[in-house]
Amino acid sequence: MARLRTRAVQNSGDIRAFFDAIAGGYRESHGSADLLLDYRLALARRLLAPSLGGVLLEIGCGPGVHLFPLADAFSRVIGADFSPGMIAAAERVRRMHPCAARIELHVEPAERLVSIEDNAVDAVLCVGAFEHMPDKPAVLRELRRVLKPGGRFVCLTLNGDYVWYRRIAPWLGYEVRHLSSDRFVNAAEMRALLQRAELRVKELGYWRFVARGDMPGWAARALAWLDRVGTVCASSRWRGGLYVCAEKDSLLVAGE
């Protein structure tokens, strides 16, 4: 197994170039692609349930791994990613999708969604991309702008308190970030970011994620076991994924 090496980046152009380069060969590297995708989609669908039938926006959509399976549950689906390579890969899939007519794709950063009007979407989804977005406050402000009153933001990201990131990887000398600009937030930091953006947390918890592709096999097996223990003991440090569902409060909008 090739060791993960953090790539130094200086600006958004460097980050875009990284994702353009991997767009054509994007694949699941942490276990069974089908099983892990089904698991993430089930969680996303549960959290998005009140918004079904409305307009869904996914930021950092990449090649559309999560966007396309959700398309039949919404009247309009929008994918945005600042990597032209990722959107080109998604467009190739969109053309053959049965819901192609209601799927839109845009090359836009989450911090500046110029194609989307104020109060235009019922839900915003972000899966495995928030950790790569350097200006998280700007992203959340923009999401609040495009969400309708009562609209939902659902995010599945990495848990900054995870024992692999905090303890084990540094002890072993393993790197955990793909890019030097990556930042993994913990639950308290996520709550603070959302509060500053005036997005009200409805639910926050942990999801099953073990970065098998970035660690030795013995560590992956041990952390998978600890993850199961963590679900029982409610220990955040043993859970690799952090999820949150937050709403744009209609009362706040009325008072603006």
95 found inside a domain: yes
223 found inside a domain: no
Q: Which residue bears the tokens 């098998």?
A: 212
Q: 166's torsion region: left (phi>0), alpha (psi -120 to 50) or beta?
A: alpha
User: 54 near 156, Cβ under 8 Å?
Assistant: no
234 found inside a domain: no
45 found inside a domain: yes
147: containing domain: 12-159+178-214+240-254
Quick one: pLDDT at residue 27?
81
77 found inside a domain: yes
91 found inside a domain: yes
> pLDDT of 232-254, one tens digit each?
888 899 999 999 999 998 764 44
Count of structural domains within the chain: 1
109 found inside a domain: yes
CATH number, domain containing residue 207: 3.40.50.150
Over its length of 256 residues, how does the chain's per-residue pLDDT go in tens digits? 578 999 999 999 999 999 999 998 888 888 889 999 999 999 999 999 999 999 999 999 999 999 999 999 999 999 999 999 999 999 999 999 999 999 999 999 999 999 999 999 999 999 999 999 999 999 999 999 999 999 999 999 999 999 999 999 999 999 999 999 999 999 999 999 999 999 999 999 999 999 999 999 999 999 999 999 999 888 899 999 999 999 998 764 444 4
If 0-12 CB within 10 Å is exposed, 13-18 middle and 19+ buried, where does residue 10 land?
exposed
Question: Does the pTM exceed 0.75?
Answer: yes
131 found inside a domain: yes
> pLDDT of 151-190, one tens digit each?
999 999 999 999 999 999 999 999 999 999 999 999 999 9
> pLDDT of 123-133, one tens digit each?
999 999 999 99
